Amino acid sequence: MNSDRSKGMTTIIDLAAACGVGLSTIRHYQNIGLIPKPARAQYGGFRRYTQEDIDRLNLIGEEM
């Protein structure tokens, strides 16, 4: 069985740390449609983010 991490997926906490933003910033960007809300993991129900989400969030940060 492959874990989410082995598929290049991460949690919101890891996403925030990788991009240097707070959790509330990520949630705000999701609510206004700048980044999509991710699917939930099969086990545990946690939302899982991909490298594409990291790239998109970094791009938003560069533009602001």
* Total residues found in the chain within this entry: 64
pLDDT digits (tens, 9 = 90+) for 6-25: 466 789 999 999 999 999 99
Specify the DSSP class assigned to residue 35: S
Element (H, E) at 11: none
Portion of the chain with pLDDT greater than 90, in percent: 61
Closest to 32 (Cα-Cα) out of 62, 60, 2: 60
Residue 2: what pLDDT?
44
Residue 52 contacts residue 15 (beta carbons within 8 Å): no
- Structure tokens, 2: 């492959």
Residue 25: what pLDDT?
96
- pTM recorded for the entire structure: 0.78
Residue 1: what pLDDT?
38
Residue 39: what pLDDT?
81
Residue 41: what pLDDT?
79
Residue 57 contacts residue 26 (beta carbons within 8 Å): yes
